[in-house]
Chains A and B, each alone.
Chain A
Amino acid sequence: MISPAFASILASGRAQFNARAAEARRRFPALDMAAFGAFLHDGVDPLVVAVAAAAPERVGGATLAAYDMALELVGHGLAGPAAKNPFLNTVWRELAPQFAPLLATAPVDVLGMLSNAAIHIASVAGARPAQWQAGMAAVAPQVGSVAQLRAVGQVLAWRAGVAHFRLGALAAADTLPPALALAAFGEPGAQWPQVHAQLMANPWRGNADGREFGSFTGLGGDFGTPPQVRATADGFVVRSAERHYLLVADACGAVLHSATAQEYEQANTGMPPSVRLDGATVHVGARSIALDLPAGDIALAANAHTLAITSPWTHAIRLLPLA
């Protein structure tokens, strides 16, 4: 059963809502009306209830926007019970209602941004959608405008593992009130200028151990054969089984993008003087890290911030901060 508020809006605009559904069925021949009905119940109804509580006078407009968007998302197979990734359903059901005051004033922008962001994050291998959702929910009471919602979403997407958003997210954070920016970074007691400077200088701030990335495709990983790595300014160009990737990694996560053989050929094979390999131990400045890899075939690649370690005996790439 849907809420009385939603039922009343649907009943009052029945012809209009039916016409919109019929039009959507033309545009999306595969639109499953049963799935759409289920999404209205699970995804749209909580929104309508939240907006009705926050701004009853605007609930009609918000409902219409949500209804149209729901048709499009279900039509694309992105929402509803048969959605390939259920994260969008979760965002509509649990996260969007927390932005009810904003939804009431700018329903298309808010729902559109949340929906697109949910689809994007869910599609990035290695990203942590649940963390993004939790972060957004935590700062929701402080978000007062669509612009702030946009910037906060970007910052939290980076922090949830979308590593290649780092510079853009830091620029977006600068547009936020310092308190909100610090809240987005989970450091409410700090000073924003210092935090910002440290984040700019060190992509591995807050993660001294680095991370391990990749595994065998046969076990659901990324690489068909043990990868070979070369460094670029953006990250590392990886070659594995005649395929090439760009690996972008920092303290928040690691993401693979497609790359070309030409990029691999042109990537850097040099090594900073502070890095030295001694058997199965790698020395970075004064630090010595013993590797659990057979000595002899270990390969190193480094850019300004990160050391990548590979071996023909593993499908994983070890990423260590140089700082």
Chain B
Amino acid sequence: MSPFNLFQRISQAPTKPKSAPVARQFDVADLYQGPIALGAEGETQARPFDEKLRQAYFWIVNHAIISPHYDIEYNDGPSQTYSVGDSRRTLNLPSAQSYSSFILLPLLTFATRRKCLFVGGPGRGKTASALLMGVLAGSTVKEVKRAMQHGHPQMTVADLLGNPLPADLVNAQSMDDIRIAWRAWLGMRVKIVDEYNRIPTRTQSALLTVMGDNYAEVLNHIYECPEAAWYLTANDDQGGGTYQVIEALRDRVDVTVQALAFNPRFLNELLLRVEENVRPEELVPPDIIFTESEVDQIGEAIRQVGIPDAVRRRLEFFASQFELFETAGGQFEYMTKDTARLAGADRGQAQAADNGRDRLKDLGCQTLNGISVRTLMALMIYAKAMAYFRGNGEVELEDLRQVLPFVLHNKLQPDPDAPFFALPENAAYRSDRLGWLRRLFDLSNDEFNRLDLDRDDPVGVLSAEFDLGLDGVSERETLARLNRIEKLIGERTKGRKLYGPLYDDLLKLKYLHQRYTNYRSWLRSQ
């Protein structure tokens, strides 16, 4: 079977059956479970890995990195809110377990072996947090520190990847005779690149190969790296480093986390560390160290977490908003921001020609680009990881909402000239990118609700009908479906402005129409 068939097949997975009522097992031994560890009879069974992950999170957040910023908020019922200051910003007291992104996102990166970028000023714990992740993977603090790559303006490819052995260079008759002394960090399961925006552009390209393709190449010799979680740090990710970060390298980063300021109310914790001469990274409990096999199993379990159709549809709707740029293309398929970017067209001029749409309502007007496939995949992986971390078997909309800003932080570029940012109440979103992205998702969901797409989605119905397969579909039925598609296109385009979701719907309908047309031709040839 061609490997491509894997993606062409209609899913064979059954729809999730309604689970049977859970038979509860109340265990009288729970009486003796508590803070005091007892002997063999009192011990609990091995913890599931999601629990171990949560244990690691809480250990870090309570004992290692002092980050009392619970910016990933979950609510279970109404929460208490306060309006604070002249700007009347909302202080929310979440009613369910909430998390600090600065700890949680790196931990989810560790569990999924993705790539995380820490941004923030010096001394805010970026490197310390990355170092802790290395320790969680079973390396000693010394090993992690020695393997950490420190970006600097003179960093060469050899500094990064390894040197040919000098004796071989003199005596070798061919490239194969030259042995390479590979750098030890290439074999680490947690790779840390400190201040990656200080690395020269050429060395960034070598780093890109390792990050993107998971191998290093020096003088035709290849080093295959093991699957690893990556942590990069940058004091300034907006171009303030020594070198501009190449776009492809920036695109390889899956999630960006901002290190927030230290709250001096927690100075006593620092004082204790000073007095006791304690470094948290040296005290990581063995119980929260993960073996390679455990991380493999966690990764597998995370991939198995389901994303319900309703949640996926909201993501589809959100992602649909941003690529359309009506004046960029003469042909329907090319009316995208990428077309304009590739042509180096004057954006202001193109925008001036694009009139008639509600530029405040159109979320696509707020960004300079659309969302890439890599970004969408990262979004789904992190949403699954978040659900797994919370002990759930399915992603909830809130999981997606919480991880979305961190995944899109570096990917969705805001258009500072957009009318949205000119409104006084939105001025803060010019600098608060995470807040803006979350607001963007909320606005998209509001629009989704207004259109009642949960219940009334004719394109979704046609798509589901097609997904059932064409086996046995008669010509008459094919023609009926073609008519339905044409009728729907007619209805959807009648007197309407073109917005992103409509554009994607029309492209999908065109695709369905084409598939049915081909099928009808085949039927007639039989």
Interfacial residues, chain A to chain B (CB-CB below 8 A): 22, 25-26, 29, 69, 72-73, 76, 78, 108-109, 111-113, 115-117, 119-121, 150, 153-154, 157-158, 162, 164-165, 167-169, 171-172, 232-234, 242-243, 246, 248, 257, 262-263, 266-267
B39 touches A109 (CB 8 A): yes
Q: Give the residues in chain B near A115, CB-CB below 8 Å.
A: 34-36
Which of B16-24, B313-321, B471-479 participates in binding chain A? B16-24
Report the Cα distance A25→B273, complex, angstroms: 11
A120 touches B28 (CB 8 A): no
Report the Cα distance A154→B28, complex, angstroms: 7
The answer, among B18, B24, B38, B77, for a CB contact under 8 Å with A116, is B38
A111 touches B36 (CB 8 A): yes
Chain B residue at minimum C-beta to C-beta distance from A234: B24
A168, chain B: closest CB distance, angstroms: 3
Report the Cα distance A288→B283, complex, angstroms: 66
Q: Give the residues in chain A near B84, CB-CB below 8 Å.
A: none
B26 touches A167 (CB 8 A): yes
Task: Known pairs A72-B35, A153-B31; list 12 more (Cβ under 8 Å).
Answer: A72-B36, A112-B42, A115-B34, A116-B31, A116-B36, A116-B42, A117-B34, A154-B29, A157-B31, A168-B29, A262-B18, A262-B19
Given known A29-B269, A266-B21, contact A116–B35 (CB-CB < 8 A) = yes
A44, chain B: closest CB distance, angstroms: 14
A108, chain B: closest CB distance, angstroms: 7
Interfacial residues, chain B to chain A (CB-CB below 8 A): 18-24, 26-39, 41-42, 77, 268-269, 272, 276, 278, 283
B28 touches A169 (CB 8 A): yes
Q: Give the residues in chain A near B77, CB-CB below 8 Å.
A: 242-243
Please list 26 pairs of residues, one from A and one from B, whose beta carbons are closer than 8 Å in the complex, sorted by A's number: A29-B269, A69-B36, A76-B35, A108-B39, A109-B38, A112-B37, A112-B42, A113-B32, A116-B38, A117-B34, A120-B30, A120-B31, A120-B32, A120-B34, A121-B31, A150-B41, A154-B29, A157-B31, A162-B31, A165-B31, A167-B26, A168-B29, A171-B28, A233-B23, A266-B18, A266-B20
Report the Cα distance A263→B19, complex, angstroms: 10
B32 touches A150 (CB 8 A): yes
- Listed from nearest, the 3 A-B pairs whose CB atoms lie closest are A168-B28, A116-B34, A112-B36
Q: Give the residues in chain B near A171, CB-CB below 8 Å.
A: 28
B404, chain A: closest CB distance, angstroms: 26
Report the Cα distance A167→B25, complex, angstroms: 10
B34 touches A119 (CB 8 A): yes
Report the Cα distance A78→B34, complex, angstroms: 11
Report the Cα distance A164→B24, complex, angstroms: 10
Residue of B19, B21, B268, B269 with highest tally of chain A CB at under 10 A: B21
Q: Give the residues in chain A near B30, CB-CB below 8 Å.
A: 120, 165
Report the Cα distance A78→B31, complex, angstroms: 16
The answer, among A73, A158, A162, A243, for a CB contact under 8 Å with B36, is A73
Q: Give the residues in chain A near B22, CB-CB below 8 Å.
A: 263
B63, chain A: closest CB distance, angstroms: 8
Report the Cα distance A76→B37, complex, angstroms: 13
Q: Give the residues in chain B near A263, CB-CB below 8 Å.
A: 21-22
A117 touches B21 (CB 8 A): no
B39 touches A172 (CB 8 A): no
B278 touches A164 (CB 8 A): no
B14, chain A: closest CB distance, angstroms: 18
B413, chain A: closest CB distance, angstroms: 41
A263, chain B: closest CB distance, angstroms: 6
Report the Cα distance A162→B31, complex, angstroms: 10
B295, chain A: closest CB distance, angstroms: 27
A172 touches B28 (CB 8 A): yes
B37, chain A: closest CB distance, angstroms: 7
Q: Give the residues in chain A near B18, CB-CB below 8 Å.
A: 262, 266
The answer, among B26, B28, B34, B276, for a CB contact under 8 Å with A26, is B276
Report the Cα distance A267→B272, complex, angstroms: 53
Report the Cα distance A286→B23, complex, angstroms: 33
The answer, among A111, A172, A248, for a CB contact under 8 Å with B26, is A248
Q: Give the residues in chain B near A29, CB-CB below 8 Å.
A: 268-269, 272
Report the Cα distance A22→B275, complex, angstroms: 11
